[in-house]
Amino acid sequence: MLGIDLFAGSGGMSLGAVQAGVDVRLAVESDKYAAATYAYNHPQTKVFAEDIRRVRRINIPSNGESRIIFGGPPCQGFSTSNQKTRNSNNPNNWLFREYIRIVKLWKPDWVVFENVQGIADTEGGMFLDFVLKAFKKLGYTTSWWILNSSDYGVPQKRNRLFIIGSLHGIEVRKPEPDNEKSISVKDAIFDLPNLKNGASKNIMPYKKIKPSGYANVLRCGLKASANHLVTRNNSLVLKRYKYIPQGGNWQNIPQRLMKNYTDFSRCHTGIYHRLRENEPSIVIGNYRKNMLIHPHEDRGLSVREAARLQSFPDWYEFKGSIGYQQQQVGNAVPPLLSEKVFTSILSYG
């Protein structure tokens, strides 16, 4: 099956597709740092690092192979944590029309449209209804589900919406969740090196401890890995960290240390959240701004730790400065979740 990845980001969805058996020929991503990460890790795929609106034709011969277009248009406007832009007046909320235009241009056998759960209820479900009707008009039979990545082997509680469209009348069954116990934060990251606030050494060896089965798989036989970068927080932020237990957040911080907030009582529950080691992580979104905290160390998560919680293998390297790397990891579709979706589609032949 030949594939095209639209709004490809750093390539998490493509990685899952490739692992399932898709030959991804083209990726479209306008952010130059995310595109650089994609190109580095997917050398077999042509990367169009431009605005999707500049894509006017698709020249990929199929030789009778089935074809699939997949991707997740920008989702910040649909996020439940972004109430100010969850409406039809946000221009970024309409970029999915470009996705539909490319589908019409190439007319693949399959489409996979991924987004945050919030698209299902933004403006009373108007956007979801628009997408479903657009696919139906183009001849696609659709199925859609909301999947929690922790049900599919990812150490993170992250709900994502997937719309699957078939040009051949197939209604795809929802992937079966894994029956094994959830993968915890401890399983995911405790073999990675101890780090300090502001850590900046890129490549480091693993701890000399036995990794969990999950960590061992993601290590891929490596002796060291990259992206061990941590945001450098100021002394006030570090003082706040010390008051927060596992599972706690900004509410555990003394009010005298929160005076620079105009109204800290309105902080999101993910702000200053210290992860519980024996549970899957909360959502790895913009984890730098949320200040997700390591279970034991008084610092934010490293890029590699966040990548582990997203199910990226350790050979996968992120490019750009630390801020761009953090954004790429937070925006990504977990590759393991993506793989489950594509495996389900490929089972139909």
Do residues 77 and 90 make contact, with C-beta atoms less than 8 angstroms apart? yes
Q: Is the pTM of this model over 0.85?
A: yes
pLDDT of residue 75: 58
Residues 263 and 318 in one domain: yes
41's CB contacts (< 8 A; 6+ apart) are 10, 11, 15, 316, 317
Q: Which amino acid, one-letter code, is at 309?
A: L
250's CB contacts (< 8 A; 6+ apart) are 240, 244, 258, 264, 267, 271, 272
CATH of the domain at 281: 3.90.120.10
Residues 16 and 162 in one domain: yes
342-349 average pLDDT score: 93
Residues 325 and 301 in one domain: yes
Rounded Cα–Cα distance for residues 160 and 13 (Å): 12
Q: Determine the length of the chain.
A: 349
241-266 average pLDDT score: 88
DSSP 256: G
What residue has token string 């005076």?
259
Sign of CA dihedral 114, 317, 211, 238: negative
At 6, list the tokens: 């639209």
Residues 326 and 292 in one domain: yes
- pLDDT band of residue 61 (cuts 50, 70, 90) is confident
Torsion angles phi and psi, residue 13, rounded to 5: -70, -40
329's CB contacts (< 8 A; 6+ apart) are 10, 284, 287, 303, 306, 307, 310, 312, 318
Q: Check residues 88 and 116 and name the one with the higher pLDDT.
A: 116
Question: pLDDT per residue over 29-55, tens digit each?
Answer: 999 999 999 999 999 999 999 999 999
Residues 142 and 207 in one domain: no
Nearest to 245 by CA among 294, 183, 193: 294
**Cβ of 233: how many Cβ atoms within 10 Å?**
19
Print the domain residue range for 130: 2-177+333-346
Residues 154 and 203 in one domain: no
Residues belonging to the active site: 75
Expressed in angstroms, the distance from the first to the final Cα of the chain is 9
Residues 113 and 221 in one domain: no
Residues 169 and 217 in one domain: no
Residues 212 and 141 in one domain: no
- pLDDT band of residue 266 (cuts 50, 70, 90) is low
Residues 144 and 195 in one domain: no
CATH of the domain at 130: 3.40.50.150
Question: pLDDT per residue over 157-208, tens digit each?
Answer: 999 999 999 999 999 999 999 877 899 999 999 999 999 999 999 999 999 9
Our count of domains for the chain comes to: 2
Question: pLDDT per residue over 288-310, tens digit each?
Answer: 777 899 999 999 999 999 999 99
Q: Average pLDDT, whole number, for the chain?
A: 91
pLDDT of residue 200: 97
Residues 214 and 107 in one domain: no
Residues 287 and 156 in one domain: no
